Homo-oligomer: A and B are copies of this chain.
């Protein structure tokens, strides 16, 4: 081994869900939206002046920031945008979690949190979810270097009502509390309501789920102007031009079509409720799902067995080979038709094994 190899940073990379090229599969493994983006996005594509690609994009993504500020009724100075909510969260970790005390997040949660903490050398502590996969607010009362949790949580789909979020905020006035709301639009109430009272609250959302635009990579954070300024300073020090022109143009059009957004979200919720009833009838158990996925196990089958049987039938769901959740499948809500194929397979499989 050469000497330079000693100094190469070794990391255990995050393993994303598979993105198979085969379009014949039913893809319920990465929580994508089964419906296309708002119709205005196609119009934005056609209106995009390709000649202008020769110029740098607006580093502040001003039009997109303005559109989001309008949609969420906050000032543009309260909105930070990034290349997917992963980019937003990564900048937030780097900007706000600078204490010697550990940052606290749940033990079962978005698997990028410990990865970022390790990369940025941030001490952290994982608070165990209770037996029902719920957050115990008292775990977040001790002195810490910051708090982050998704609401609804992933991959559990569990939602904590606002009074739990507020309880955690009340006990943490001296650190930044990040609520990662990638899935909030599927039935929960956003912590944005609490912003007026807690200037140490940062709410992070994404275009990848409810807005059907995972392929564009747009995420955003909303918080007090002081927090957003600190994040922008941090972002500009890493890479001043991250969001490209197509994302800025198409993102604005997606934000502006509120009617389509609501219709899309409501369809997914309706399919989720229908799927819940069918899974229950087959004997599955799961925490009450409040996202665009259901986290379910069947008492008679191991998670890996069902995952592999489904995969062989070209139905992709997500399975996590981890303590406490190894028997669960995370099943994204697709169209009614896709869920029918899934349920037919599960019904046959369960009845014949």
| A residues whose Cβ falls under 8 Å from a Cβ of B | 2-5, 7-14, 16-17, 19, 27, 30, 32-37, 41-42, 45-46, 48, 50-59, 83-84, 86-87, 90, 94-99, 115-116, 118-119, 145-146, 173-176, 199-200, 208, 212-217, 226-227, 230, 232-234, 236-247, 250
> A2-B174, A239-B84, A246-B247 are known contacts. Are A214 and B56 too (CB-CB below 8 A)?
yes
| Main secondary structure on A side of the interface with B | loop
Inter-chain contacts of A53 with B (CB < 8 A): 36-37, 41, 212-216, 250
Q: How many copies does the complex hold?
A: 2
Q: How far is the CA of A97 from the CA of B198 in the complex (A)?
A: 39
> A237-B11, A244-B246 are known contacts. Are A56 and B226 too (CB-CB below 8 A)?
no
> A56-B32, A57-B215 are known contacts. Are A236 and B16 too (CB-CB below 8 A)?
yes
> A50-B37, A208-B56, A237-B115 are known contacts. Are A175 and B98 too (CB-CB below 8 A)?
no
Inter-chain contacts of A19 with B (CB < 8 A): 55-56, 58-59
Minimum CB–CB distance for A300 against chain B, Å: 33
Q: How far is the CA of A322 from the CA of B96 in the complex (A)?
A: 31
Having A53-B215, A90-B239, one finds 8 other A-B pairs with CB under 8 Å, namely A4-B175, A5-B226, A9-B95, A12-B237, A14-B237, A17-B56, A37-B50, A216-B245
What 5 pairs between A and B have smallest CB-CB spacing? A3-B174, A13-B236, A53-B215, A246-B246, A215-B245
Inter-chain contacts of A99 with B (CB < 8 A): 7
Minimum CB–CB distance for A227 against chain B, Å: 8
Q: How far is the CA of A146 from the CA of B116 in the complex (A)?
A: 24
Inter-chain contacts of A116 with B (CB < 8 A): 237-238
Pair A244/B230 contact, Cβ less than 8 Å: no
Q: Which of B16, B119, B175 contacts A240 (CB 8 A)?
A: B16
Q: Which of B2, B3, B118, B244 contacts A247 (CB 8 A)?
A: B244
Minimum CB–CB distance for A307 against chain B, Å: 19
Q: How far is the CA of A239 from the CA of B14 in the complex (A)?
A: 8
Minimum CB–CB distance for A91 against chain B, Å: 10
Name, among A2, A16, A238, A245, the residue most crowded by chain B CB atoms within 10 Å (CB to CB): A238
Inter-chain contacts of A174 with B (CB < 8 A): 2-4
Q: How far is the CA of A216 from the CA of B53 in the complex (A)?
A: 6
Pair B50/A41 contact, Cβ less than 8 Å: yes
Q: Which of B2, B5, B119 contacts A237 (CB 8 A)?
A: B119
Minimum CB–CB distance for A143 against chain B, Å: 11
> A7-B145, A30-B56, A176-B4 are known contacts. Are A87 and B14 too (CB-CB below 8 A)?
no
Pair B98/A7 contact, Cβ less than 8 Å: yes
Pair A55/B215 contact, Cβ less than 8 Å: yes
Pair A214/B54 contact, Cβ less than 8 Å: yes
Q: How far is the CA of A41 from the CA of B54 in the complex (A)?
A: 11
Q: Which of B54, B215, B236, B244 contacts A54 (CB 8 A)?
A: B215
Q: Which of B13, B42, B115, B240 contacts A50 (CB 8 A)?
A: B42
Minimum CB–CB distance for A37 against chain B, Å: 5
Pair A11/B239 contact, Cβ less than 8 Å: no
Q: Which of B16, B118, B119 contacts A241 (CB 8 A)?
A: B16
Inter-chain contacts of A36 with B (CB < 8 A): 50-51, 53-54
Closest to A209 in B: B54
Pair B240/A14 contact, Cβ less than 8 Å: yes
Q: How far is the CA of A95 from the CA of B7 in the complex (A)?
A: 8
